[in-house]
Chain A
């Protein structure tokens, strides 16, 4: 279940959407806009995606995860557009029968997302703006 959306993200919505009766664990990760980056104060962030490729790369990550861990469901929702401090930019949730694969797969998913999913953010601060992207 993958989504690139301009709407605010709901952690509870993502978690409940992937939870099954066979699952004993759901691990979730929420990426949040921080007030500073590399020593600079952040006013807000602007996220931009290559949506079709981003969804394809999220599916690739799911494939990699299913080769390594026994999981039941995974969901990745990423927000785009302008986000203020404290708002959620990404929600990842992994449901599995047991906690260890859920936790490990969730950690793997966010690392790989940063490496291969074409989503960029523009950090806007009072003294200028900088694009930050894939692999950083």
Chain B
């Protein structure tokens, strides 16, 4: 199944795009998606502990199951970024 991932603020800057599509096996969860995102964009691992996820615009735990066509927002930490 195909999940539309939207990224914002520091997460968007690290990935370089505001929107990416991720292919996952049927029955995957938010946690599985997170692993998929981290393997494709290792730069995000640094903020892994503080990222939260929104499934179809509602905050969701990592155990929540995903369905084809879901939109998942990657919500960056309360405060982050790096000094240039």
User: What residues make up the interface of A, taking CB atoms closer than 8 Å to B?
Assistant: 48-50, 52-53, 56, 118, 120, 122, 127-136
Between A and B, how many residue pairs show CB distances below 8 Å? Answer: 56
- B57 and A52 contacting across the interface, CB-CB below 8 Å: yes
Chain B residues, CB < 8 A from A50: 6, 8, 54, 57, 73, 75
User: What residues make up the interface of B, taking CB atoms closer than 8 Å to A?
Assistant: 6, 8-10, 12, 54, 57, 73, 75-84
Which residue in B12, B54, B79, B81 is a CB contact (below 8 Å) of A136? Answer: B79
**CA gap between A57 and B80 in the complex, in Å:** 22
- A131 and B57 contacting across the interface, CB-CB below 8 Å: no
- B9 and A48 contacting across the interface, CB-CB below 8 Å: yes
- B84 and A118 contacting across the interface, CB-CB below 8 Å: no
- B57 and A120 contacting across the interface, CB-CB below 8 Å: no
- B75 and A128 contacting across the interface, CB-CB below 8 Å: no
Instruction: List 22 A–B pairs whose Cβ atoms lie within 8 Å, in order of A's numbering.
Output: A48-B12, A50-B73, A52-B57, A118-B8, A118-B54, A118-B75, A120-B8, A120-B10, A120-B76, A122-B9, A122-B81, A127-B83, A128-B83, A129-B83, A131-B10, A131-B79, A131-B80, A131-B81, A133-B9, A133-B76, A133-B79, A136-B78
